[in-house]
Structure 1
Amino acid sequence: MIVRTIAPEGMPRPTGEEGHILLAAIWAYFSERHRWPTFDDIDRKLFAQGLDFEEVVQQLCPALLLGLSPDISQLPQGMHDLSLSVAGAANCTGTGPALAVFLNMVRTAAGMEPAWLPADRGDSPWMQPGDLAPIPGIDPALLSEEVTFAAAALGQRETCFGGGSINREGLDWSLSFDRTIRPFADVHRVDDYWRIREQVQGPQRAEADRRPFAKRPTLHTVAMLVAPPPAPAVPAGDSPEPMSVTCNLHPLIAEVAAERYVRGAYNDAVRSAFQAVEHRVHTMVPPTTLVGHGLMGYALNANSGEPLITVTRSTGNSLDSERRGMQDLFKGSMQALRNPRSHGPDERDDRDEAEEMLVIASFLMRRLDIEDDKRKAAAAAPASQP
């Protein structure tokens, strides 16, 4: 007999045994590799057990599984991440310590928020591993870096936090938040957290998230069944079709923004993307209290020689121009794109603009890869010497 962990009463649960298997596969993958699996990873895992993803996932709902559209008529791309909500984790065996740490993070953030004094005006509060206090009643031996990292990975995609960044290589993380964390100040049980979460979301959103994944006809599908009207004549010199560009977002941007984008939280997706850029820059420079555009100026300032972070490709006479331009681009993204979505009044982004801003964040993140590759090459150089 197989004994399954189920979430407390009042929280969403899988409607069948195979749904539990899918959730457990995602958690097991994360626990082993410290990153969420892709759709391909889980699809292959289920197939090896004689299960079909499209059938199994219909025993789940968006309140349990993140990274998937409620309409599964079109499945995600193979490299698209799948992750668990707190409710999804609560239906998995062995997640108790991570959930306890997550609740501690929520309480800690709610305590920090009212007293937050930003170093840079307008920057949102954020927390990191050193901010957490011991949890009464929990064996400290259970609270390893791996457990805390798993809790942060859950928190990064929960609506009580405003996103954040996780670094699987060093098990480092940060979570940002704002005034929306306040209702969770006294939560000590996961079912209480979920109840408040659904109250904050509102009944319409909560009900939608509890509807099982299903194949649903869309407006696009219906429209394809109707013969389109004749296309109007295109005057000479005019473009008959708008140009469409498709690109793969940087994995670190997709990791924090994909699930939010899929469920229509475009503002949250953009904010999380630029917070991820900010966090990565923070991990690349010597310890500093600077954040936002001040941090970008510090990291990319070339006035006194080489900047702390290299994000340029030019050489010769063009190098100085590109350095200054990239510094302005990083600083401007914090002021113009991140800050308004972190501090209100609430920006309501439409899908097209959100996509364009996510591409900007992806570009900045790829430029940070230049510094990362440079450091890896430098670290490997001594070992390659005879």
Structure 2
Amino acid sequence: MTMCTVLLFPGAGSGFSAPFAHYPRGREIAADVAKEIDEEFLPYRQTERAIAGILPEDTAILIVDNICPSSLYAVDLGARRLIDGSVGIAYCGGMSSHGPLRQFYFAEMGTLSPSGDLRAFDEAADGTLFSEGAAVVVLKQLDDALRDHDTVLAVLAGFGAATDGRNKAIFAPSQEGQTRAMVRAHEVNDLPGSAVSWVVGHGTATACDHTELRSIAAAHPGATPWVTGNKPMLGHTGMACGVVSLIQAAMGLSRSNDPPAAQLHGVAGPRTLAAGPRADRGGRMKPSAAAERSPFAGVFACGLGGINGYQLLSAPGPAARGVRSAPPSRCEEVVLVRWTALLPGRPDDATVAVRLAQGGGPAGREPTARGGAGRAARTPGARLGTDLGGRAGTHGDLRRTPRA
């Protein structure tokens, strides 16, 4: 079957001019530099070069970027393509690199560790440390993996996505949004929160850790999940961190090992969980007896702007046969019923429809019908808003409409 690559590239083009905007002639400098950037440095070109000679030339490439959870979203996209049969194998992962400007921004925000130690979920935490990294996982349907005699490390058991919505600040996480993502992942297999034994958390060693622990507690009522983080050992790998944690969780489930929690001096917010994450004096996180009996583990990542992703994994074995990796598909067709747009010059929706249908002048100038200067154009596109939604100017939305 056709292969698929679902890889992350860390938004090379997004916000390029932002670092220059506050300086004299900053935007002009940014524009001049952008002209010198060769097409070969664009994300798709770099990805093509990275997989050249490793994967077939006709491998499809999909690149996503939504900050730290990006690679978990890539895994979900790959899983969905496997389930719908459009691909037979998916390579999903993330990569991230950090230049001096990014370090400067986070230093100004006060999120970098002045001590040089990253202590996730630790009462002594004083900030995070960034590192560069890349990681990839290979996904197959379970039957295909068994047929090919592959070693199954873990079974995907549901993904939950959520955004925080309006909040106090772009860097202020929301417990409600994080909990919503976790609960949505549980709902794929109708799991109670108590079924999850281990959560590999985002754990950046910032004040956000306290919110994350409260979110985990809310999503696992009455339970004591074993919470760990790997950034003290590896640093914060940015857009790659989600799949790095996924690999750690998969290795832990398949080997039944206990990864260390480096630099742990005391658990942050000990009352935020039902009984709190458990740590011995050696700095190694220990699961409770109930957690050791559960085959499910979760991987959480969140990012600036309130983007949350939570991937559940099940230990490999006969019991994993009944596990769903995504919600059951629905047969209803999805249709577009309304639309609206806010564009330069603030044209109304009818004018936007005309311009999109036949082209028009700059913002603020009314388009004219061909061969009739000065007359308003009358094309089928001018009625688009009414045809789709009953009237123009309403909020655009997508709604499921059952088949007739």
- TM-score, normalised by the number of residues in structure 1: 0.22
- Based on CA coordinates, which of the two structures has the bigger radius of gyration? 2
Q: Which has the higher strand share?
A: 2
Q: Which has the higher helix share?
A: 1
